[in-house]
Amino acid sequence: MIPVGFDYERPQTVDAAIALLAEHGDGATVLAGGHSLLPVMKLRLAAPEIVIDIGRLAELNYIRVDGDEVAIGAATRYRDLVISDVLAAECALLPAVARTVGDPQVRHRGTLGGAIAHADPAGDLPAAVLALDGTVVLRSPRGERKVPITEFYTGVFSSVKEPDELVVEIRVPRTGATGWAYEKFTRRSNDWAIVAVAVATMPDGATHLGLVNMGGTPLRASATEAALAEGKSIEEAAALAAEGTEPPTDSHGTPEYRNHLVTVLAKRALKTASA
């Protein structure tokens, strides 16, 4: 299908992108990697009047240590997460998760900021950043605000981001090179997750689990986390991974199937992370 006609702007700075967003309001849409936006536009589920392309803004393409966090520019591509020496040493969960997204073409175009902003409950990176207790940095003409990712998502494809706000940075704690795991269950390699579980060992020693495709938003396995904090075994804790979730039904499985799958993946991931 061919999208509805639209105007196209490629601003040279973040400030110029934000000014365009403010000028055009609801009629404007940000383009980053385009791997979610363009299919949606081709299906005519979105018909922006103007597309603001931030995909090549060098200002938004970086990975750097900042205090006890790693700061990642929103337009940083999956491929750059995968090959980052900084992330390999400081937060190795993220490159491991990015490596599982789609195929090489998707990983060379798709961006971390696009994945976070798109708010797809089947996305891999949102659940990983949730497991890490990351922060989403938003900028608009009103200034900058930092939203904990635990408060960012409000539903399927929706978040607290206002139409005139740009995701400019994602911040994650320096969890190091070990103590993580990602178990993604797919029917074919390169597929989206039927269910996936990200495990992160936090700097204070707590174990966090982020769940993919187990509800309308990325979710934490809170009951599993609480059981681990109480000293329960991995088997006991993993058995609780579906508590509080509302997994979807689709051609890949029923909620009952996903409820079982998530306990199996949680057990595997916890064992890997603690090995």
Q: Which residues bind ligand FAD (CB under 6 A)?
A: 29-37, 54, 74, 101-102, 106, 109-111, 113-115, 117-118, 120, 123-125, 166-167, 192
Minimum separation from the CB atom of position 189 to ligand FAD (A): 10
Least gap, CB of 206 to ligand FAD (angstroms): 25
Question: What is the rounded distance in angstroms from the CA atom of residue 88 to the CA atom of residue 84?
Answer: 6
CA–CA gap between residue 98 and residue 263 (Å, rounded): 22
**Inter-residue contact 184 to 196 (CB < 8 Å):** yes
Residue 221: closest CA among 198, 203, 194: 198
Q: Considering beta carbons, is residue 55 or 173 the nearer one to ligand FAD?
A: 55
Neighbours of 13 (CB within 10 A): 13
Residue whose CB is nearest to ligand FAD in the complex, by number: 114
**Residue (37 or 129) nearer to ligand FAD, CB:** 37
**At its nearest, how many Å lie between ligand FAD and the CB of residue 93?**
14
246 and 213 Cβ atoms separated by less than 8 Å = no
Q: How far is the CB of 101 from ligand FAD (least distance, A)?
A: 4
DSSP 85-105: HHHHHHBTHHHHHHTTSS-HH
Whichever of 91 and 167 has its CB closer to ligand FAD, that residue is: 167
* Alpha-carbon dihedral angle through residues 55, 58, 60, 63, given to the nearest 10 degrees: 120
Tokens of 99: 């490596």
| Residue carrying structure tokens 């940083």 | 76
Nearer CB in complex with ligand FAD: 27/203: 27
3 state SS of 139? strand
Question: Which residue number, 197 or 228, has a Cβ lying nearer to ligand FAD?
Answer: 197
195 touches 226 (CB < 8 A): no
Tell the smallest beta-carbon distance from residue 177 to ligand FAD (Å).
Answer: 23
Of the pair 120, 238, the CB lying nearest ligand FAD is at 120
Spatial distance between the Cα atoms of 57 and 14, rounded to a whole number of angstroms: 7
The nearest distance, CB 122 to ligand FAD, in angstroms, is 7
